[in-house]
A and B are shown apart, each in its own frame.
Chain A
Amino acid sequence: MPKDISRRGFLKGGVSLAAGVAAGMAAGPLVLPGAAQAASGQELCTVLDLGKCIGCEACVDACRAEWQPTVPDPVKPIPQPFPSRVPIEDWSSRKDVQDRLTPYNFLYVEHLELEGKVSELHIPRRCMHCVNPPCTSLCPFGASRQEKNGVVHIDQDICLGGAKCKTVCPWHIPQRQSGVGLYLNLLPTLAGNGVMFKCHRCLPLVSQGKQPRCIEACPQKVQSIGPRQEQVAKAQALAEQAAAADGRPGQWRDYLYGLEENGGTNTLYVSPVPFAKVNAALHELHIQQASQEAPAKAGQGRGQAAKGGKGLGRRLAQAGRPPMGPVANSMENPENLTLALAIAPVAGLAAGLGRLFGGARKLGRALEARRQDADKGGQS
């Protein structure tokens, strides 16, 4: 097993492969279209063949048309959280912004100019739908959820907008809208600050066996959706072709993004140029954009975040434009420490009952003797 594929991803892959093989043996090859398979509850994965994308943004328009109306408008005035350095994030007057992620925009397209054979590249960006999503595993309120079909979404009725999901997401995908949601009914100044929003893979549609809007709307058929195992095989084949076409046969991993990142995701990008080059170009572009956009324009209202002087890294992380660099499995330690949790009570029981039982009896006798001494001392 390659070191960078997590045990969890490996187990899941193995299980779904075994299930696929069993299903194949029982009923021949799977013939359901990808969206119908979504209804069957299998883990779904998308593949984006970036070589086909013309950057028309029909996907973005379709996503916005369907889902922007589901994001509520904030109460006015939005309560200022305490302490005052906690920023109010209000995008309600900038719903038109579609060149980055915002609470009202779950998908945007990066337009890159490159040097070399491929002179331009367009990259639709949204949540990666990680296999073991830290946003879900670490949400203390159960508001970030993962469905059996792999879709990761945030329940806007429960989310308090603390933005922990954004902090722990390696791509800082979820975006906050202050002044909406449950926290308004609790302690609006002391706890919470709105609701986090992001792509939910069109869960309401997918769970009815329909295609996500962005896939349906694309004139180029850039994206496809289907069971993870099939999609991984498809993405790998496409990446092998891309590597060969770029004169680097065998180096397919360089042309595939999302398979191993963060321990594995259910969004696989295949590019005609290596992702190291894509990421370098993205980084340059994002720095340019960050320097052009004053933080006040970038969605920060009052509070500390509206003030300048923050580090570039922090500003880029807040900019709603995720990079495409290598990402280690952020859940690797919890995955390993789960073993410690499993072993600990067994070790404790063994120490109390097992080989040390003789020792325990001795300990019991010693304690009893001391108690008797104490009793005698008390009586005298």
Chain B
Amino acid sequence: MSAHDHSPGGRAASWTYGLAIGLALFSGMAQLPIMKRYYIADLPGMAWAADFFATSDLHYLAAALLLMMLAWRLALDGRLAGLSWSWGPRTWWGWGLLGLLALTGAAKAARNWGLYLPPTTMLVLDLTHLMAAMAFMVTGLVSLVMGRKEPTRAGMAEGL
């Protein structure tokens, strides 16, 4: 029996979360002027990666999907004790980074609706968002490479 079977939303939710994280990270990285410089946009079918507006739209969509899933998860966790999840952050560090990304991202986006943020605040938001994303990516990669398993009840039930 896999961990997905115990996780609300099952395998589909896990895949959707993984996809949303992947798209958010890629489209976020594409906000740095590196896709063209480092030939990524020259790969077949990847020209869009150098289009800052297209990747920015994608970033908003991926972030919206993540926010919806994480809010759903938090709400379910709040109402039902002992749920196990096959997706999402596993540690307070992970939750902290995602929370920081959501807050700084939301503040940056609020500019689009006319919220004025002083330049120094914008600088802090931009750099915090960037650093948190990098820390999240490194954490994810380390956890993948180390093959860390989720210490959930589902995992324990499988004897992992």
Contacts of A346 in B (CB 8 A): 71
Q: In the complex, A361→B78 CA distance in Å?
A: 12
Within 8 A of B (CB), among A339-373: 340-341, 343-349, 351-353, 357, 360-361, 363-364, 367-368, 370-371
Q: Does A119 contact B (CB under 8 A)?
A: no
Q: Does B53 contact A (CB under 8 A)?
A: yes
Q: Are B39 and A83 in contact (CB-based, < 8 A)? A: yes
Q: In the complex, A155→B122 CA distance in Å?
A: 12
Given contacts A142-B127, A353-B78, contact A348 B113 (CB under 8 A): no
Contacts of B5 in A (CB 8 A): 370
Q: Does A164 contact B (CB under 8 A)?
A: yes
Q: Are A371 and B71 in contact (CB-based, < 8 A)? A: no
Q: Does A253 contact B (CB under 8 A)?
A: no
Contacts of B83 in A (CB 8 A): 364, 367
Q: Does A33 contact B (CB under 8 A)?
A: no
Q: Pick the residue among A83, A147, A158, A353 that contacts B37 (CB under 8 A).
A: A83
Q: Pick the residue among B31, B65, B76, B114 that contacts A360 (CB under 8 A).
A: B76
Contacts of B145 in A (CB 8 A): none
Q: Does B72 contact A (CB under 8 A)?
A: yes
Q: Does A223 contact B (CB under 8 A)?
A: no
Give min CB distance, A166 to chain B, whole Å. 10
Give min CB distance, B132 to chain A, whole Å. 13
The chain A residue with its CB closest to the CB of B81 is: A364
Q: Are B75 and A349 in contact (CB-based, < 8 A)? A: yes
Question: Which candidate, A4-12, A51-59, A235-243, A283-291, is the interface stretch facing chain B?
Answer: A4-12
Chain B 13-54: CB-based contact to A (< 8 A → 1; otherwise 0): 000000000000000000111100111000000000000110
Q: Are B60 and A340 in contact (CB-based, < 8 A)? A: yes
Contacts of A167 in B (CB 8 A): 33, 52
Q: Pick the residue among A147, A191, A348 that contacts B68 (CB under 8 A).
A: A348
Q: Are A352 and B79 in contact (CB-based, < 8 A)? A: yes
Give min CB distance, A127 to chain B, whole Å. 16
Give min CB distance, A7 to chain B, whole Å. 7
Q: Are B79 and A357 in contact (CB-based, < 8 A)? A: yes
Question: Which candidate, A69-77, A99-107, A131-139, A268-276, is the interface stretch facing chain B?
Answer: A131-139
Chain A contact residues, majority secondary structure: helix
Q: Does A335 contact B (CB under 8 A)?
A: yes
Q: Pick the residue among B61, B71, B78, B127 that contacts A141 (CB under 8 A).
A: B127
The chain A residue with its CB closest to the CB of B116 is: A148
Q: Are B71 and A7 in contact (CB-based, < 8 A)? A: no
Contacts of B105 in A (CB 8 A): 341
Give min CB distance, A226 to chain B, whole Å. 19
Given contacts A140-B130, A145-B119, A145-B122, contact A341 B109 (CB under 8 A): yes
Question: Which candidate, B88-96, B136-144, B151-159, is the interface stretch facing chain A?
Answer: B151-159
Contacts of A352 in B (CB 8 A): 71-76, 78-79
Contacts of A145 in B (CB 8 A): 119, 122-123
Q: Pick the residue among A86, A344, A363, A368 that contacts B71 (CB under 8 A).
A: A344
Q: In the complex, A357→B84 CA distance in Å?
A: 17
A residues with a Cβ closer than 8 A to B are 7-8, 11-12, 15, 81, 83, 86, 132, 136-143, 145-148, 155, 158, 162-164, 167-168, 191, 330-331, 333-335, 337-338, 340-341, 343-349, 351-353, 357, 360-361, 363-364, 367-368, 370-371, 374-375, 377-378
Q: List 6 A-B contacts (CB under 8 A).
A: A83-B39, A155-B119, A164-B33, A341-B67, A344-B68, A348-B68
- Lowest 4 A-B CB distances belong to which pairs? A352-B75, A348-B71, A142-B123, A162-B33
12 new A-B contacts, CB < 8 A, other than A138-B56, A349-B71, A352-B73, are: A83-B38, A145-B119, A334-B109, A337-B57, A337-B60, A341-B60, A345-B71, A349-B72, A352-B76, A363-B8, A371-B157, A378-B157
